[in-house]
Amino acid sequence: METKRSAFCGLAGALVLCGSLAGCADGSGMGATPGGVKDMKLARELVANGQVPPPDALLVEGMFSEHDLALEGPACDRTLCLRGALGAAPALDGADSAWLQVGLSSNVDPEAFQRPPLALVFTVDVSGSMGWNYSQGQNEYPTPGELARMLMRAVAAKLTGDDRAAVVAYGSDAETVLGAVAGSDARLRRAIDSLEEGGSTNMEAGMTLAYQVARGMRGGGREVRLVLFTDTQPNVGATGSGAFRALAEQGAADGIGLTVMGLGLGLGAETTAAMSQLRGGNAFTLTRRSEVDDLMAESWPFLAAPVAFDLSLDLVPGSGFAAVESYGFPPDPSAGSRPTLSASTVFLSRRRGALLVRLQPGAQPIESAQIAGTLAYATPDGRRITQDLGLSFDSSFARDAGGRYFQQHSVGRAVALAMLVAGMKQAAEHYTSERAEAVAGMERTAARFHEEAAALADEDLQPEIDFTDALLRLMRQGAPQGTLYGMRGT
């Protein structure tokens, strides 16, 4: 494997890790984000429908993926560039903290991007809850089956003769509706149009069969991927997230990626996260008709073409500092109480993603923080890229009235968004058993976010202010809490 040490292409207060000893050339401003859950739509739709989201629907990595959190610096000159900047601000509990943001950028021109040939297995839930036999006309909220068909047609329209595609459907049982054909083959469109309702939700059988089909489609230089379309937790066969994680894990080991398309409001967030955080995995939520076009415009073909694997941050805080929390990294169950500092996959994105680490000081003042470490990732062709990291505050360090200082505006945004979601999640965890504590916590979270948004003077945060206020109103009103299956009584 090849190891490359990057040039330190720095601006004041920021380090740009471009991976090129020749320096950082002009780029297009394309971004990159880690795999895992790629949006907060499930939580937003639950709130819009008068429900308090369950904790599993509130994910910092989903929030980060919806925002452009670019760090400034010389333009990127390669497929993936990693940049760093520091900040100081209180944590959710008020503890004085230093913050490290790692930004992900790319020099790829999205209009000129040439994706690899694909081998896709459309793995489709045809259970009764999907509503395959019902039409909502032009209603903005189609049935999950309608959404699935719209999205499959949109993807199929982008495939060519160099691609391969197959269709596996599962209800009470699983069947191969269409074996592997060229992406331009008219039989693919006919197979999509032929799908209809078929019983319960045996996702285990569907995914098992789909992975068998996918293994037979490997070779020919194609990126092999299951695209799973479903609206609900499985109720036949295996039903726990562990079983599906094991299936996806074995598939990932065999070089098969997984994209989960969660349709409607019934999808199990825990199961989705367990599968999508693995190597080659990502997940999206769709509830509205317009979101099909939005997804294709923003995320195709990037969602099917990883640009890096096994991203890791080996962090060495200076004397007296310790890394205590991380945000934006897909969760890693094996990490225990330690902060997760890795991501199995990175995908190109029209937004520049962020990873955030909170550092807790001992007796040392925040402004003395010195952060060193190594960022590493593997390219799709197996080369290992290693980049050194070294950051510290400079003489411009000066806090505002709220105890905050950020080397770059984006660090302030990332911290504000991370603390917002963390506060929401904490309130949601207490909501059914300790309602008064949940409301009080949400009030503190909302007050903090309003203050931070005002200090940052960032109009892009207005939708999050509205979302925050709406959730707080629901909690004060005692609204029902949504579950992975709909609503929980109160």
The Cα-based distances of 157 to 165, 185, 186, 301 in angstroms read 12, 10, 10, 12
Name the β-bridge partners of 322: 360
Q: What is the pLDDT of residue 446?
A: 98
What is the maximum alpha-carbon separation in the chain? 68
- Residue 391 · residue 370 · CB < 8 Å: yes
DSSP string, 414-461: HHHHHHHHHHHHHHHHHTTT-HHHHHHHHHHHHHHHHHHHHHHT-GGG
* Residue 219, phi-psi category: left (phi > 0), alpha (psi -120 to 50), beta (remainder): left
* Residues 250/260, Cβ–Cβ less than 8 Å: no
In the structure encoding, which two tokens stand for residue 37, read together?
């859950």
Cα separation, 35 vs 281, in Å, equals 6
Cβ–Cβ under 8 Å, residues 420 and 63: yes
pLDDT number for residue 271: 60
Q: How many CB atoms lie within 10 A of CB 290?
A: 9
Which pLDDT score is estimated for 398?
A: 94
pLDDT of residue 16: 37
- Which of 339, 373, 378 is closest to 356 using CA atoms? 339
What's the pLDDT at 272? 65
Residues constituting the chain: 490
457 exposed, middle or buried (CB, 10 Å; 0-12, 13-18, 19+)? exposed
Q: For residue 346, list its beta bridge partners.
A: 34, 308
Alpha carbon distance 108, 130 (integer Å): 37
DSSP 8-state secondary structure symbol assigned to residue 12: T
Give the span between the Cα atoms of 275 and 246, in whole angstroms.
8
Tokens found for residue 460 = 């892009």
Give burial (CB, 10 Å; 0-12/13-18/19+) of 84.
Answer: buried
Q: Compute mean pLDDT per 10 residues along the chain, 490 residues long, and list them.
A: 31 33 41 86 90 91 91 82 92 95 87 91 90 73 90 97 97 94 98 88 90 95 94 55 78 92 68 71 89 93 92 88 89 67 89 90 90 90 88 92 95 97 97 95 97 94 97 97 52
Strands 342-349 and 30-34: antiparallel
pLDDT of residue 25: 34
What kind and span of H or E run contains 275? helix 269-276
pLDDT of 6 reads 30
- Output the six-digit token pair for 5: 């040490």
- A 10 A CB-CB count for 309 gives 19
Beta strand pairing call for 96-106 and 14-17: unpaired
DSSP 144: H
Report the Cα–Cα distance between both ends of the chain, in Å, rounded: 56
Amino acid at 323: A
**And the tokens for 358?**
């909170």
- DSSP string computed for 234-264: --SS--SHHHHHHHHHHHHHTT-EEEEEEES
pLDDT of residue 265: 61
Cα distances from 374 to residues 82, 86, 139, 352, in angstroms, run 11, 16, 50, 20
Please tell me the predicted confidence (pLDDT) of residue 137: 65
Name the 3-class secondary structure at 116.
coil
How far, in Å, CA of 167 to CA of 270, rounded? 25
Interacting residues of 124 by C-beta distance below 8 A, sequence separation 6+: 148, 152, 167, 168, 169, 170, 177, 195, 206, 229
Mind listing the domains of the chain with CATH numbers? 18-87+101-110+330-365+387-488 (no CATH), 118-304 (3.40.50.410)
Nearest CA to 168 out of 190, 191, 150 is that of 191
The set of residues, in sequence order, having a beta carbon less than 8 Å from that of 332 and lying 6+ positions away, is 277, 340, 342
383 and 2 Cβ atoms separated by less than 8 Å: yes
Both tokens assigned to 109: 């021109």
In this prediction the pTM is 0.84
Is residue 472 a contact partner of residue 443, using CB atoms and an 8 Å limit?
yes
223-230 and 257-263 beta bridge pairing: parallel
How far lies 79's CA from each of 255, 349, 412, in Å? 21, 11, 26
Q: What is the DSSP letter of 334?
A: G
Q: Which residues does 338 contact at the CB level (< 8 Å), separation at least 6? A: none
Dihedral sign for Cα 148, 151, 154, 158, please: negative
